[in-house]
């Protein structure tokens, strides 16, 4: 095993370890009664474990290779990510996942798949044109995650059943929902803002995003 392969294995194992800590720890049980716990679990998967797993894939040579279809792949990935995030936060689907183990498993798997796909795409780009497309996708993701967080924060009433928003730290039900919104906007939005800034820096840095000559 080469030194490079060993590094890749460590990244992959770190991502798996993060998922294990998230999924086998107290958050899944707490998320059934606390919306803020659900949001911590969700964001831990998509904004922490997913980029680490994607980094492991890229460093092992498994870059996304779509050629002229890159823009199409990017649109599909970012659209699916938005659909998954907003879909699972619809009151009916959120409640179903909180009450039924099978639906909860499906929810969590969809979070890690779309989250890893977004970061895999971003870490795979080499051409300037691909950077532009991915940067626009990150801007869209930043906006829709921040919008969802603000919606949850400013909602004048509970959007979810009260028994699913009992809070982690003695918060009232509505404050628990609002805390979930703050986490979504700050952590979720912040992660994609940071990713977008890195992509933007690569785009404007001379020689960092040149079109390949082959």
What are the angstrom distances between the C-alpha of 201 and each of 82, 113, 135, 159, 210? 25, 27, 10, 39, 13
pLDDT attached to residue 13: 84
Quote the strand ranges of the chain, DSSP E. Answer: none
CB 4 within 8 A of CB 59: yes
- Dihedral sign for Cα 54, 56, 61, 62, please: negative
Nearest partner of 97 among 108, 86, 82, judged by Cα: 108
H or E, element range at 36 = helix 35-44
Residue 214 lies in a domain: no
Residue 109 lies in a domain: yes
pLDDT attached to residue 12: 81
User: SS3 string of 97-123?
Assistant: HHHCHHHHHHHHHHHHHHHHHHHHHHH
Residue 209 lies in a domain: no
Residue 86 lies in a domain: yes
pTM of the shown model: 0.88
Residue 210 lies in a domain: no
Residue 213 lies in a domain: no
Task: Report the domain count for the chain.
Answer: 1
- Domain of 152, in residue numbers: 3-204
Residue 212 lies in a domain: no
Distance of CA 85 to the CA centre of its chain: 8
Residue 102 lies in a domain: yes
Kindly give the confidence (pLDDT) of every residue in the chain, 214 residues in length, as a single tens digit, with 9 standing for 90 and above.
444 545 556 878 899 999 999 999 999 999 999 999 999 999 999 999 999 999 988 887 777 776 668 889 999 999 999 999 999 999 999 999 999 999 999 999 999 999 999 999 999 888 888 899 999 999 999 999 999 999 999 999 999 999 999 987 778 999 999 999 999 999 999 999 999 998 888 888 765 544 443 3
């Amino acid at each position: 095993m080469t030194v490079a392969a060993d590094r890749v294995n460590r990244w992959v194992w770190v991502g798996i370890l993060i998922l294990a800590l998230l999924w086998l720890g107290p958050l899944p049980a707490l998320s059934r009664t606390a919306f803020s716990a659900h949001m911590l679990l969700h964001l831990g998967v998509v904004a922490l474990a997913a980029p680490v797993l994607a980094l492991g894939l890229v460093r092992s040579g498994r870059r996304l290779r779509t050629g002229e279809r890159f823009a199409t792949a990017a649109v599909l990935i970012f659209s699916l990510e938005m659909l998954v995030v907003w879909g699972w936060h619809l009151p009916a689907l959120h409640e179903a996942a909180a009450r039924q183990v099978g639906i909860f498993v499906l929810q969590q798997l969809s979070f890690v798949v779309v989250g890893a796909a977004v970061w895999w795409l971003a870490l795979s780009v080499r051409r300037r044109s691909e950077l532009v497309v991915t940067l626009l996708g990150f801007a869209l993701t930043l906006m829709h995650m921040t919008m969802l967080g603000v919606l949850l924060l400013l909602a004048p009433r509970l959007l979810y059943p009260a028994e699913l928003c009992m809070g982690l730290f003695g918060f009232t039900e509505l404050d628990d929902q609002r805390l979930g919104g703050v986490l979504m906007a700050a952590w979720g939005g912040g992660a994609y803002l940071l990713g977008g800034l890195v992509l933007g820096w690569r785009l404007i840095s001379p020689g960092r995003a040149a079109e390949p000559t082959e």
